[in-house]
A = this chain, B = another copy of it.
Amino acid sequence: MAIANKQIVYSKTPAPAIDPSLTDGTFAVKNTSIAEPIPDDKVLVRVHYLSLDPAMRQWLTATRSYIAPVLIGDVMRSNSVAQIVSVGSSLKNEFKTGEWLVASTGWQEYALLTAKEAKAQRVVVPPGCTPTDAMSVLGLTGLTAYFGLLEVGKVKPGDTVVVSGAAGATGMVAGQIAKIKGAKRVVGLAGSPDKCKFLTEELGFDTAINYKDKDWRKQLKAACPEYINVYFDNVGGEILDACLALAAPFSRFAICGHISQYSAAKPEGPRSIMMIIGQRVTMQGFIVFDYAKQYPAALKELGQWLVEGKIKRKEHIIKGGLEACPQGLVDLYAGVNTGKMMVELAPLSQAIQSNLGEKL
């Protein structure tokens, strides 16, 4: 017996933009299978939701980085919300079918995980929350917002906080945490009027600016009459430059992502870099993994805020199965999504059973 397992593999180096075509593009479909019974020391998971993340473009380039690049021929790396559908014979006491995980399965329908991989990623969410929360507000994007704003940005009551990519999975949580922590002004930058409306009307941002407006720099200046104390940067490029020009003395710039530059043939540096001296700016890049020891406490707080409604969630779910991933990634870089972008391979209603009770 064998289970059919479709995969999407990295096929061709982007030059520099991702080509979503599955016939001659950056990625290709590969049909494989997993033999049954599965190995004694493995669990088999079925992937329900695949995460699409801005960092992915970087993983396709062999630069010196915090993580090894994905190599041509590899299944594309990705986190996913997955459910255990079969447990190897030696692991029956440790796992049961129906358990939910957020695991680095990559772009495929099924994956075999070691006990260690599976254990580290068990989904624990508060009542009322869903497995997909564990991949957004209660997952790496929420944690990234949390540590970026609190540990790197060191937000204080009264601060003016600017968030770019504010309608994205990380940005929207960062802005909401800033409000929770007493920021005087939270200003979000996003790429459409709808997104801006969502930020101010749904999430409580004080101002939202469409960076596609011609006068966005002017709007940003007007929104920050006491300059910027904390900038949470998801985009780099022109917006980072504009925020540096508006930096308040002793401000903190938490550099989380550079989505505007990932596919740029010639990345641009911020021309206002000299402000870093006059205003004594601290600009710090960070990776959420460095705060792993503090995840449990952070997740407890994020979970509480989510349940209390102080943080609102927003998912952007792409239907169309595995084949929709490459185009979804292109859309992510084009800024199509509001909230956490994921690709549905199998809805939660198809789950075989659950450790999360009736709520599903």
Which residues of A are interface residues toward B (Cβ below 8 A)? 58, 63-66, 236, 240-241, 249, 255-258, 261, 266-287, 290
A280 vs B267: C-alpha distance in the bound complex, in angstroms? 19
Query: A283 contacts which chain B residues (CB < 8 A)?
Result: 276, 282-284
Contact A266 to B274, CB < 8 A, known contacts A279-B285, A280-B287 = no
Min CB–CB distance A40 → chain B (angstroms): 38
Q: Of B64, B258, B273, B278, which contacts A63 at CB under 8 A?
A: B278
- Contacting pair A258 B273 (CB below 8 A): yes
Q: Of B241, B267, B280, which contacts A274 at CB under 8 A?
A: B267
Among A64, A279, A281, find the residue whose CB has the most chain B CB atoms closer than 10 A: A64
Q: Of B255, B269, B278, which contacts A64 at CB under 8 A?
A: B278
- Contacting pair A236 B274 (CB below 8 A): yes
Min CB–CB distance A195 → chain B (angstroms): 23
- Contacting pair A285 B290 (CB below 8 A): no
Query: A274 contacts which chain B residues (CB < 8 A)?
Result: 236, 258, 261, 267
Query: A267 contacts which chain B residues (CB < 8 A)?
Result: 271-274
- Contacting pair B271 A266 (CB below 8 A): yes
Query: A63 contacts which chain B residues (CB < 8 A)?
Result: 278
Instruction: Kindly list 11 other residue pairs between chains A and B, CB separation below 8 angstroms, not including A258-B274, A267-B272, A280-B287.
Output: A66-B280, A255-B276, A256-B277, A267-B273, A269-B270, A276-B283, A279-B285, A280-B284, A280-B285, A280-B286, A281-B284
Query: A240 contacts which chain B residues (CB < 8 A)?
Result: 273
Min CB–CB distance A39 → chain B (angstroms): 35
A266 vs B272: C-alpha distance in the bound complex, in angstroms? 10
Contact A257 to B284, CB < 8 A, known contacts A269-B241, A269-B268, A271-B267 = no
Query: A58 contacts which chain B residues (CB < 8 A)?
Result: 278
Leading 3 A-B pairs by shortest Cβ distance: A269-B269, A276-B285, A277-B285
A272 vs B285: C-alpha distance in the bound complex, in angstroms? 13
Query: A286 contacts which chain B residues (CB < 8 A)?
Result: 277, 280
Min CB–CB distance A229 → chain B (angstroms): 15
